[in-house]
Structure 1
Amino acid sequence: MTGRNRGFGLGLSLGLTVGSALLWGTAHLATHRHRTAFVLMSVQILLIAGILTVVTAFSTQLLSLAVQPGWMTGLALILAVIATAWTTVIIWSYMLVRPAGAGVAGRALTAGLTVALCALVLAPTAYAARLAYVSRDLVHHLFAGNLGGPIVAEDPWSGARRVNFLLVGADSAPNRPGVRTDSVTVASVDTATGATTLLGLPRNLEEVPMPPGPARARFPYGFTGDGVDSPGLLNEVFQYAENHPEVVPGVPDRQRGPALLKQTVGGVLGLPIRYYAMIDMHGFAEMIDAVGGVRITVEEPIVYGKYREGLLQAGTRRLSGEEALWYGRSRTDSDDYVRMGRQKCLINAVARQADPITLLNSFENLATATKRAISTDVPQDLLPALVELAQKVRDKPIRSLNFVPPLISTSNPDWRFIRHQTAEALSPPRGPANHARSAPTTTTSPQGPVTLDKTCG
């Protein structure tokens, strides 16, 4: 029995069509198809209940699934099935309650409303499918396959109490061949709690000890650079490895630099470094712009720009990508070591403000910028565990320890002292209150007290 048979007017027909889009089976009830209406309503209620249960009870797991291309593709297919069923119900309902004697204008209005309702249902599905495609492309572009053997879901960190990531800020310029790693930071993360300590090494460390093997054979007394025009600083190790395959035998192009730098920095700090992530400074600015800027407290005015054309005034404000870039790299009226402290503040601010809603809203632009800006050796299979660990990190204060003068001498570093302080900084809290320390912490050493600062609040 159709709307024409029942004598539905234009207004009632429009209302029943909209009602059926919101609650399946409404039009079927109006046309006395009670059994079909009951089935449709039951299916919709079960779908809504299932979605709400998944979203509320498994929110953390959903973030982990978002970095797994297979799951994203499966989700897009499920949404496509739901959208197809939903549009079918809308069109079916319209066919049942089409207005009788409404004329051409009335029929056009109800048909147009039906098409609009179907579009409202299909649009989110198309968007989800697009996000799934972008996510899959990003994961395949950035993250390698699992090169280290199978990862056990119950223990992705292989029983390690801490996992160490090398974070590198790379800068290149047309007048300077190669890449200089001007920002070198190790993020040491407690795998159980997420408590994180950032350990910063200055770019101008001299005579850095090389790891055992061909690199140490070439530089038995520490890295001295590549010829008379090279000062032999820490920030040259990456490019030296890329230019000299023999010091990292068996490692392909574009992986030699990260491999040697991980081993070198790990040896300096006395830590096993599993993974690295390198970000291009200019690409970093694009990433900040993609998420709408980053809010940070500028402690004192910062002059920026090659020709001092800009000034970041003191105060708490939202920085654009370009401003954030200069906040993290400017040395005008300051030095490398002040800049290192600001870089830790910037890392902390980005980590705190990277909430899921912001990331989702800007996901496509962020993915495009990320593909140009970041390289890493984190395997795809580790991403779900990494997402869960990142959630823990966000809930804990991030502390930092920068090995800069006067704590060390960059021209004649005390390597034993650096390793001792690293071990002290990462040791479990002492005393009855065994919890993450949010205030600055002082440790002792043969060279006096050293303070670990809470990174920018």
Structure 2
Amino acid sequence: MTDRERDFGLGPSLGLTLGSALLWGVAHLATHRHRTAFVLMSAQILLIAAILTVVTAFSTQLLSLAVQPGWMTGLALILAAVAVAWVTVIIWSYMLVRPAASGIPARALAAGLAVSLCALVLAPTAYAARMAYVSRDLVHHLFAGNMGGPVVAEDPWSGAQRVNFLLVGADSAPNRPGVRTDSMTVASVDTATGATTLLGLPRNLEEVPLPAGPARDRFPYGFTGDGGSTPGLLNEVFQYAEDHPELVPGVATGRRGPALLKETVSGVLGIPVRYYAMVDMKGFAEMIDAVGGVRITVEEPIVYGKYREGLLQAGTRRLSGEEALWYGRSRTDSDDYVRMGRQKCLINAVARQADPLTLLNSFEGLATATKRAISTDVPQDLLPALVELAHKVRDTPIRSLNFVPPLISTADPDWRLIRHKVTEALRPVTRRPATTAAGGATPTASPEDPVTLDKTCG
């Protein structure tokens, strides 16, 4: 290195080092390395252009990549390569313009700036590597391998016009053995438009018909549980299957309950339930806290707690995880059916407020809570298609149909009527014109339509 190249004071040295970190090649221009400077500047401009193109043109696909461990790992490696190149430019620039004869303090200050700039470049790479690790761990922990055969990217839903997911809220308690599925909702989603209808089944449906095979052989006239020791309600089917492996032969522990419950619900509704996702209620509260709460419109004050120790005042506010949990589960001064309505509202609110930026900002905490709270049989290979479907769902109104009194008697359900109502609910929505004050026509639902639009929950 020649004296001319090192003939910089402290101020110019600091400025050129910082400038080279922002725009590659600045220090090289100052030391008359014009060709190298041109190459470095061109490389940085191309890199920035590529990043902007990806972010703007493929923004909707970025969240899909977050659920694919291979892509996340590849992204981390690319970022690491960019970081190494950036750090190399910073160090190279510093070596070209470091102060030659300003004394040890000045040179230490210049070196400290270079080290700090390198750290600023390396920190996002370390964060991305951590995200990749957390993503991979979550996907492998939560989602099973693709047991149903390969997923075709062009047609991930195998030509189905609708795909049906069983969403289960499970409540286990120290004073009660096993798990009770106290919230059961089938989300029927149009794979082309994302139009979604939530079909709510009350937990206390009695004598539910079980699918053909060992289960129906044992309960030919409907599920009655363990005789007098249990009431024999729908919310007991899951745990009963886990406790009696002979009802679901060949299925492993932990999967018998979901398998029998999916088949049972399929038979009740008359539609194929393809996948399930079960959320532990306490874990659900942790998930809400991880994303900073959920904004809900509380229509009227809700008393909660075993000893009425809490009260959710009416109004629109952001609820914590514990408050959201009680909003969805409290039956004090109300009943199961009012609670079901609030649960649908809560599902809707969470789905609409979980934007990609919020999910990414709280990804690690949400991943930790999710691992403890959720179990599902959605295969890994289906996750990108599921993320894309979720985007469609957020852009369409969510409709709801609950099979509760007076429509359905839980003690003596009309199974044929339930299936008929499901068929009606899943038909394309028909509207009839209603005259406005100005004489125009606005679409309104038919009064015979049992399906209602879910509230947006603020």
Same fold? TM cut 0.5: yes
Q: Hey, what's the Cα distance between the residues in 2 that align with 1:280 and 1:439?
A: 40
Distance 1:246 1:129, change over 3 A: same
Partner of 1:238: 238
Secondary structure, counterpart of 1:228 in structure 2: helix
Q: Hey, what's the Cα distance between the residues in 1 that align with 2:80 and 2:112?
A: 22
1:441 Cα offset (Å): 3.6
* Superimposed CA distance per residue, residues 213-250 of structure 1 (whole angstroms, 9 cap, x where no aligned partner): 11111111100012321100000000000000111111
The answer (yes or no) to whether the contact 2:5–2:97 under 8 Å persists in 1 is no
* Superimposed CA distance per residue, residues 84-139 of structure 1 (whole angstroms, 9 cap, x where no aligned partner): 00000000000000013211110010000000000000000000000000000000
The answer (yes or no) to whether the contact 1:285–1:325 under 8 Å persists in 2 is yes
Q: Hey, what's the Cα distance between the residues in 2 that align with 1:439 and 1:306?
A: 45
Partner of 1:319: 319
Partner of 1:178: 178
RMSD: 1.5
Partner of 1:155: 155
Q: Structure 1 residue 308 and structure 2 residue 308: aligned?
A: yes
Q: Hey, what's the Cα distance between the residues in 1 that align with 2:6 and 2:74?
A: 42
The answer (yes or no) to whether the contact 1:425–1:452 under 8 Å persists in 2 is no
Q: Hey, what's the Cα distance between the residues in 2 that align with 1:106 and 1:432?
A: 80
Secondary structure, counterpart of 2:452 in structure 1: strand
Say how many residue pairs are matched: 449
The answer (yes or no) to whether the contact 2:276–2:376 under 8 Å persists in 1 is yes
Distance 1:391 1:318, change over 3 A: same
1:53 Cα offset (Å): 0.7
- Unaligned runs of 5+ residues in structure 2 are 434-441
* Superimposed CA distance per residue, residues 279-338 of structure 1 (whole angstroms, 9 cap, x where no aligned partner): 000000000001110001000000011111110000000000000000000000000000
Partner of 2:73: 73
1:456 Cα offset (Å): 3.5
Q: Hey, what's the Cα distance between the residues in 2 that align with 1:432 and 1:43?
A: 60
Partner of 1:430: 430
Partner of 2:355: 355
Partner of 2:27: 27
Counterpart residue type for residue 374 of structure 2: I
- How do 1:406-421 residues align onto structure 2 when only pairs under 5 Å count? 406-421=406-421
* Superimposed CA distance per residue, residues 138-167 of structure 1 (whole angstroms, 9 cap, x where no aligned partner): 000000000001110000000100000000
Partner of 2:288: 288
Moved over 2 A (4+): 1-6, 429-433, 438-444, 449-457
Secondary structure, counterpart of 1:296 in structure 2: strand
Secondary structure, counterpart of 2:406 in structure 1: coil
1:428 Cα offset (Å): 1.1
Q: Hey, what's the Cα distance between the residues in 2 that align with 1:441 and 1:285?
A: 35
Secondary structure, counterpart of 2:224 in structure 1: coil
1:58 Cα offset (Å): 1.0
1:439 Cα offset (Å): 8.2
The answer (yes or no) to whether the contact 2:5–2:31 under 8 Å persists in 1 is no
Partner of 1:9: 9
Q: TM-score, normalised by structure 1?
A: 0.96
- How do 1:42-81 residues align onto structure 2 when only pairs under 5 Å count? 42-81=42-81
Partner of 1:199: 199
Secondary structure, counterpart of 1:216 in structure 2: helix
**Percent of aligned positions that are identical:** 83
Q: TM-score, normalised by structure 2?
A: 0.96
The answer (yes or no) to whether the contact 1:210–1:223 under 8 Å persists in 2 is yes
Distance 1:440 1:313, change over 3 A: farther
Distance 1:26 1:3, change over 3 A: farther
Partner of 2:107: 107
Counterpart residue type for residue 313 of structure 2: Q
The answer (yes or no) to whether the contact 2:8–2:97 under 8 Å persists in 1 is yes
Counterpart residue type for residue 342 of structure 1: R
Counterpart residue type for residue 280 of structure 1: D
Q: Hey, what's the Cα distance between the residues in 2 that align with 1:166 and 1:264?
A: 11
Distance 1:124 1:198, change over 3 A: same
Secondary structure, counterpart of 1:450 in structure 2: coil
Counterpart residue type for residue 44 of structure 2: Q
Partner of 1:187: 187
Q: Hey, what's the Cα distance between the residues in 2 that align with 1:250 and 1:226?
A: 22
Q: Hey, what's the Cα distance between the residues in 2 that align with 1:130 and 1:397?
A: 36
Partner of 2:228: 228
Q: Hey, what's the Cα distance between the residues in 1 that align with 2:358 and 2:305?
A: 29
Distance 1:350 1:307, change over 3 A: same
* Superimposed CA distance per residue, residues 61-87 of structure 1 (whole angstroms, 9 cap, x where no aligned partner): 222111100000000000000000000
Q: Hey, what's the Cα distance between the residues in 2 that align with 1:25 and 1:429?
A: 61
